[in-house]
Structure 1
Amino acid sequence: MSRLNGVNGCGGDLNGVTSGAGCWTIGLINAKAKYLTAETFGFKINANGVSLKKKQMWTMEPAEKDLICFRSHLDRYLSVDQYGNVTCESEEREVSCMFEVSVTDDAQGRWALRNVTRGYFLGAAGDKLVCNAKVPTDAELWTVHLAARPQVNLRSLGRKRYAHLSENGDEIHVDANVPWGEDTLFTLEFREDKYAIHTTNNLYLNRDGKLNPDCTRENLFCIEYHHGSLALRDYQGQYLSPIGSRAVLKTRSNSVTKDELFALEDSLPQASFVALLNGRYVSVKQGVDVTANQEEVSDHERYQLECDAETKRWYIRTMQDKYWTLESGGGIQANTNKPTSNALFDLQWIADGSVAFRANNGKFVASKKSGHLFANADTPDDEAARFYFYLINRAVLVLKCEQGFVGYKTNSNVKLECNKAIYETIKVERGENGQVYFKSQQGKYWHACGDGVMADADAPEGFFIELREANRMAIKSTNGQYVVAEKNGGFRLSDTDPSRATLWEF
């Protein structure tokens, strides 16, 4: 076994890899394919969960030296007493809560968790958790199910660059300075207790660096945790890393150095905006002035939206690392790389599916006939103050709510539910006037009916995306009804009140 070293401090949840180096949100699966579970009442724990949902999620936190702790969804820590009894009631990270992690060299790459004070390994005997094994057997080995938000950016610690799909769409290169566009998005698929890297052109990364349409043993990797970073190992014991001048992602080394380590990062939403007044894209092509004057989308018409946690307002960043900013005369320019309060905007979603931007002076941004933007409108009622919103770096979506992922109802490949352990990837096609069409992998479109939302239509039906938080959206039909999650897993249109709309994690 090889030691997995521990790490740094934690922050709030980000992407299943908690913000702050070293913290991950995970599920732990025992040899009988059951998840470690923290029950909602009485702080009871067992190993009988059948899928990764809220009660099966644990935050793996760094502790002192190379040790880690496991915190439940109830904010209590897993701990072991001197007799080997395993509980989950501690509110503080005491020494009895600390574990040393080892990873096996077997095909599954399973983990063994040795409690520091007890000196024995954590295992499962039926429903009960025990800590009585001096040497880990099958009962003390755990598979790690990373509860990451499925679509992430992949950053190499060695190269200090981001992975992206190659221009030909047949390799992954790790040489992007910033993760712009859908080609830097990758889906981590948990398959056969391992992980596959799925690209936006619907291919899987092979260990030799090529991309394949089918997922086989050559495309599956074990996950390892090193100093809070990620390493991915193939079935021959070699690790993924960027190779050569083109930084092609493939396996080569049998050991882990900085070159084999990666960070998973949230992919921030990126958008384009079309002014209703003239039907032109908002652009910075002409320099610092933000102007609605372009007919097509290039890098100058793509913007990254960065949510300010304190104010819930948004910074709008250009690909040139400049931010939209309110100038003293009311004009909007992209001329600063240090965001200030004048670079913050409220996004207000309008009934017709458009969005309005309220600037720091309390006025709404409006476009003049020339296309120049000024924050001088009192309300968003004027057509000049409204813009169509297009989320451009999500060619596919994975949607999640508190109950689980959006996927197909059991024994159905058309009716959608929102309580699934396995997600369905949803293709997104752009429509007119801010609308998008959602399409299944079988080539059928979403449509709403009295029974919910089905994916069996030949013709597209329009929906609007409303970005509400850094990684959550509301989805609205063209008749103004929001898609909501129901307690039984139902996935349907409800009323038109935005305050009751389900916010879907994406």
Structure 2
Amino acid sequence: MQNGCRHRNLAEFTKIGLIHSPSGRLLTSETFQGSLNVSGVSLKRKQVWTLYTQPDKPDAFLLQNHLGNFLSADNNGNVTLVTTEPGCEERFLIHFDPNASGEIALQSEKHGFYLQWTGTEMRCFSKEPVWWGMRLAMHPQIHLRSVHRSCFIRSAKKDSELRAVTKMPCSPKFLIWLQQLPLPSARGLAAPACTKQDVARLSRVALRTQSGRFLCANGSLTDSIDKATLFSVSFKPNASQVVLFQDENGDYLTVGGGGVLKVKVGSKEPRREEFFSIETPSIHVRLWAFNNKFACNKHGLTFSTTMEETEDHKSTIYQLEYVGGRGLDTSAIANATTTPAADGAALTFPFDGSEDAATYITSGLWRLRSQDGRLWQLPPTGCAQLAPKDCTEHTTFDILYVSSYEEQAAGEGKPHRNNAGGIVLRTPEGMPVCAKTLGAIGVSERPIDAAWKPVPAEVLHMVTLVNRTSIACYSILACGFLAPAIGRRTGGECGADCANTNPEQWFLRHLVAGTVQLFAKQNERWFILNATSQGNVTLVPSTTGPEEGGAGGDNAGTEFAICMACDKHALFRSVLPLGGHTQPGFLCANLQGGVKVDVSGTITPGCIWHI
């Protein structure tokens, strides 16, 4: 997992929230004065705790709040937050309820006492375990991998079971959603208390397939959540960072015969088949060029396949892998969202060349991998090809997102502006990748400098996330999921905001231009996300769903280009020109959860979405 901490040699494990019993409130770290209480009713910024491990002491966790400070307990039981380099008093052992309720107890590694809420303050002076409920604060859409078999889990047998099958996830069937029951709504300080059973139930997790079916303990899939579909989650801080799942009887979820996931009755001690790892979902793409042909490696690596042929060709789908390096530093952006001032903190947004024609965003170094595991190789001379296995020379490139460019269709005498934009692949030597007339892929001789403007042969179009039929969009600033706004309805339309901490499933319609439309289902009706010319964001009714073409939102206001900033964060650029601005407009959230399309020309933390 990536290190997003300012301290050295710390590895991020996961993010959680802690539920106090019996109040049912979440442990909260206040932004001002650094006080701790159990007043939280939803998993927002102040209720999220990031767990870190240290390589030389992998058996304990560090808990960091949203301000970057670490939870600390001294020998007198006093609990504070420290800003210094974490030491032995900041390390806690996490114990999981032996009854597999899903609850945890936090024990000071140095002093041996347990963390507790006394009713007025946080203390760490209990000799007996004090149990807290655990909420997962990670993104809910994941890949699940069997550590022992080194295989990813997918739905199989007509969506009737989950099975560990392959080392490379390549379709929506590999997407798993981690789902917990929603926290009860609390109004005022007199909200009813939760029982220990309530807290335990809120701590457990269901495994849901992309099609909406839940894994049962017996290995079958069902359409609704019940106690047979809820599992407690436990983990251990070590090099492999494994997670384990237990059913209500304490038996472990395992990979059984034929790779099928099911609970092994009587398995009270975990073995290697019970170890799983949670992975960031892969990004699969298709690319096409100015000749309207898709990249294909069936007979060499060329732009040679028509759109009609892509459905039958796995050789047109490539895994986009983030390497890092140059471009937007999304970890720094995420860490910048620690105070209310972050909403106005602009980040680097380079405009190169003329203001309207050569605007692009750099997004770091990437690689493209074919279904057989080989990487795209882009040599300085000659044609691109798939590299031999284990070869990495000339395989990395920048992705530059071009918001618009001039193009000329066949038979047209006058060029026109393509507002859907595209991408340019830039080699480490600063040269753009281009498509040749007959479809070969090579490196252009025109360096990308201040005078450079992309020509059609250098602009490629990327159909992003072809392995995902739906996503959840989490604002790292508002700490909420993009969702239809409750109570904000005008006529048939409704608003959108990020005030919801429960994930909203947005269904994707992939358009050939490389853009997407986002659909939400409300009361059996489809709505489509729409940007207005004033920059407002609404949901408008659609007569068709995401899998159908045609009407129901066929306008530029409903089209968004996904600009991947890293393997998990993205920008959503509206294709609709807003208010006469030539600068691109990005879907942007504010601290209060409001959403608009921002055309200021700067990237703020509100523009970054975890998908």
- Normalization by structure 1: what TM-score? 0.89
Of 426, 442, 456, 2:506 maps to: 426
Query: Following the alignment from structure 1 to structure 2, what is the Cα–Cα distance between the partners of residues 329 and 116?
Result: 58
Counterpart code for 1:388: H
Q: Is the 8 A contact 1:463 1:476 kept in 2?
A: yes
Query: Following the alignment from structure 1 to structure 2, what is the Cα–Cα distance between the partners of residues 339 and 467?
Result: 25
Query: Following the alignment from structure 2 to structure 1, what is the Cα–Cα distance between the partners of residues 379 and 160?
Result: 45
Of 488, 497, 501, 2:601 maps to: 497
Counterpart code for 1:33: G
Q: Which runs of 4+ in 1 moved over 6 A?
A: 19-22
Counterpart code for 1:389: M
Query: Following the alignment from structure 1 to structure 2, what is the Cα–Cα distance between the partners of residues 62 and 356?
Result: 38
Of 425, 435, 444, 1:357 maps to: 425
Q: Deviations over 1:257-311 (max 9, x none)?
A: 1211111011132211121x22121111113x34343431432111122222223
Of 31, 35, 53, 1:44 maps to: 35
Counterpart code for 1:177: K
Counterpart code for 1:251: V
Query: Following the alignment from structure 2 to structure 1, what is the Cα–Cα distance between the partners of residues 225 and 387?
Result: 46
Q: How does 1:52-451 map to 2 (within 5 A)?
A: 52-62=43-53, 64=57, 66-89=59-82, 91-106=84-99, 108-136=101-129, 140-191=130-181, 192-227=202-237, 228-244=241-257, 246-252=258-264, 253-275=267-289, 277-287=290-300, 289-294=301-306, 295-297=309-311, 298-311=313-326, 312-338=364-390, 340=392, 342-350=394-402, 351=404, 352-353=419-420, 354-376=422-444, 378=446, 381-391=454-464, 392-401=466-475, 402-404=477-479, 405-411=481-487, 414-442=494-522, 443-449=526-532
Query: Following the alignment from structure 1 to structure 2, what is the Cα–Cα distance between the partners of residues 386 and 496?
Result: 25
Of 592, 599, 604, 1:488 maps to: 592
Query: Following the alignment from structure 2 to structure 1, what is the Cα–Cα distance between the partners of residues 485 and 243?
Result: 33
Change (3 A) 1:380 1:272: farther
Measure how far apart 1:150 and its partner are: 1.6
Query: Following the alignment from structure 1 to structure 2, what is the Cα–Cα distance between the partners of residues 318 and 490?
Result: 40
Q: Percent identity?
A: 24
Query: Following the alignment from structure 1 to structure 2, what is the Cα–Cα distance between the partners of residues 433 and 258?
Result: 46
Query: Following the alignment from structure 1 to structure 2, what is the Cα–Cα distance between the partners of residues 190 and 271?
Result: 30
* Alignment size in residue pairs: 487
Unaligned segments of structure 2, at least 5 residues: 182-201, 327-363, 405-418, 447-451, 543-551, 578-584
Change (3 A) 1:477 1:451: closer
Query: Following the alignment from structure 2 to structure 1, what is the Cα–Cα distance between the partners of residues 223 and 275?
Result: 26
Counterpart code for 1:70: L
Q: Is the 8 A contact 1:307 1:313 kept in 2?
A: yes
Query: Following the alignment from structure 2 to structure 1, what is the Cα–Cα distance between the partners of residues 598 and 92?
Result: 46
Measure how far apart 1:38 and its partner are: 2.3
- Normalization by structure 2: what TM-score? 0.74
Measure how far apart 1:182 and its partner are: 2.1
Query: Following the alignment from structure 2 to structure 1, what is the Cα–Cα distance between the partners of residues 487 and 211?
Result: 27
Deviates more, 1:338-347 or 1:211-220: 338-347
Change (3 A) 1:374 1:380: farther
CA RMSD of aligned residues (A): 2.5
Partner of 2:195: none
Counterpart code for 1:395: T
Change (3 A) 1:278 1:60: same
Unaligned segments of structure 1, at least 5 residues: 1-9
Q: Specify the SS of the correspondent of 1:37.
A: strand
Query: Following the alignment from structure 2 to structure 1, what is the Cα–Cα distance between the partners of residues 392 and 483?
Result: 41
Q: Specify the SS of the correspondent of 1:306.
A: strand
Query: Following the alignment from structure 2 to structure 1, what is the Cα–Cα distance between the partners of residues 528 and 58?
Result: 52
Partner of 2:336: none
Identify, as 1 or 2, the structure richer in strand.
Answer: 1
Change (3 A) 1:411 1:317: same
Partner of 2:346: none
Change (3 A) 1:380 1:320: farther
Deviates more, 1:304-313 or 1:424-433: 304-313
Partner of 1:5: none
Query: Following the alignment from structure 1 to structure 2, what is the Cα–Cα distance between the partners of residues 79 and 160?
Result: 37
Query: Following the alignment from structure 2 to structure 1, what is the Cα–Cα distance between the partners of residues 10 and 255?
Result: 24
Query: Following the alignment from structure 2 to structure 1, what is the Cα–Cα distance between the partners of residues 366 and 76?
Result: 52
Measure how far apart 1:90 and its partner are: 5.2
Change (3 A) 1:90 1:448: closer
